Structure 1
């Protein structure tokens, strides 16, 4: 029986705050049951002192108290075992969580390195493109000058507009 149901894909930082709450609630339940058992036990002991010879359903009081003590001891042992299982399970979940966080940190670092590499490559490519554009610009401007003078003679350029 698992008290912690979590899908790794949907795990968030908010759900990690539930762990202390769960452990605390289990602890309070165990404490409450333990206190209740002690109170009932003391009440039974006080009531049994004056009338030790009274029988409960055909069982002498001494045997009834002994049976009750054995039952309570078994109950406490079961609660303790359940609590230990919960604590152990939560410890495993914490360990898994820390491993996942470590993996995410490593993946983020790898992604940062990849981004830096790509930025450097991009900057180098932009410089090469700019150098090529700079080389093409003088060639284009010379061609443009020749074409503009080639199509329209300078004297006709202004007279044809008006």
Structure 2
């Protein structure tokens, strides 16, 4: 299958599953997790940022957490949300394959979420977070950069002018 066809198939799968807060870009099928868990599955081959991401494994995450301070994007989440997010992370040889984003949508703006997701090279997944807050020009820019992945950024949470 041509790369363009793979991307189109992934986009169609994303549109289908994003309304349930769930996406499996790699196989265009639901996974075993319930949609309510809002799990996000990442196709490492489509995620060109994964190889350069600071955190691509459990070991790298552990090292990062040992040295993280208040300036870490992880500190943007409340302690309980941060714990749930970290516990939801799953890795393979390429990097993050699964994570739960319910708390990210509930607590962070688009630009904050982008900073957090960039730690793992999965910032492209921001475009499918339908409930993410878009409050500032920085948030708009974060969403526009995600639009390059082929997914449409959410419009429901934009401020009224």
Q: Which TM-score bucket, shorter chain as reference?
A: under 0.3
Greater CA radius of gyration, 1 or 2? 1
Q: Which has the higher contact order (CA 8 A, sep 6+)?
A: 1
Return the structure number with greater strand share.
Answer: 2
With structure 1 as the length reference, what TM-score do the two structures score? 0.19
Return the structure number with greater helix share.
Answer: 1
